[in-house]
Amino acid sequence: MIKKLSKSLIIAALLLCSQATAEYYFPEFSSSQNTDMLVTENKTINSQISIRPSFSKIELKKKTLKEKANLFSVSLNYDLIVINNIYVSAQLSYKFSKNKGKTNSLDANNVFIKQKTYELYIFNRTKSKYSDFSFETKLGYTFSLEKNGYVIPYLVLGYENEENNYISPSPMIYKSVIDYEYLGFGMISKVNVNSKIFVSLNTKIIFMFNAKTKIDNTSYILDKYVKNYNYMHYEIELPISYAISNKFLVSIAPIYSFKQYKTHKYSKLGTEKMQMKKIGAMINAQYNF
């Protein structure tokens, strides 16, 4: 379903962009001599391909567990922008980390065990391998700020798969996979400081749906599939960009995100709440064509 909707969004946006005709100023294409690039043809204005590696500190909290790690991620992005017209974007990203933590107490619900042997594991160390794959598409509208930049409000549709594989010396060896689709909205803004430097504010809020948790790799399973409540996630970026030339741009940005999950109270697993906070920095290398 997500793949079909995403494909439809991109095709519709490309058709709309092919109809755009006007004189538009695009600040990222200004040269150091302040010669503005104007486009007066039926063509896409400022297609962008970018790669964004990032490094973050994450903290994962449950009632009986706390883990910390360094998270590495990379995303490949395509953005198509027409001033005072349509905006469309597609993003593919992958994140991974090696988490370490401690349990302060364990019970049958929280570690998926049937027998009451959990007292033996109190204050045990935990270790896990975390990975996250996601794909999303955005559709919005670009509002020009004349020669000062632009603002883009947008809708976003995506899919995310998060996997946490607990390994030795964790008390229980198992793999937890959270799988969900999401719908949300956000805003991208860019303001010129001068012909080479730009500052931005990027925000996104998403709402999960069809969320579920799959438990694997253990004989202590009570529920293999567990429904999740659908929660809101949000993230914020504050990029500072420098135009190396009309074609190339680099950015650096502090980033922050917050995620929350909660298993359904009617599952045998019981209600379990988990929060994940991420704070770090992102580098963006962008090519305009």
Tell me how crowded residue 115 is: count the other CB atoms within 10 A of its CB: 7
> What local confidence, expressed as pLDDT, does residue 126 receive?
82
pTM flag (> 0.85): no
Under CATH, to which class is 2-288 assigned? mainly beta
pLDDT digits (tens, 9 = 90+) for 28-53: 444 443 433 333 333 446 899 999 99
**Tokens, residue 221:** 């399973």
> What local confidence, expressed as pLDDT, does residue 103 receive?
74
> What local confidence, expressed as pLDDT, does residue 134 receive?
96
d(CA 139, CA 186): 10
129 burial via Cβ count (<10 Å: 0-12, 13-18, 19+): middle
d(CA 189, CA 84): 14
- The DSSP code sequence of 37-73 is -EE-SSS-S-EEEEEEEEEEEEEEE-SSEEEEEEEEE
Q: Residue with structure tokens 């999401």?
A: 182
239 has a pLDDT exceeding 90: yes
The average confidence (pLDDT) of the chain is 77
pLDDT digits (tens, 9 = 90+) for 143-173: 988 778 899 999 999 999 999 888 887 777 7
Three-state DSSP class for residue 10: helix
26 has a pLDDT exceeding 70: no
> Rounded to the nearest 5 degrees, what angle is found at the Cα of 207, between the Cα atoms of 56 and 132?
35
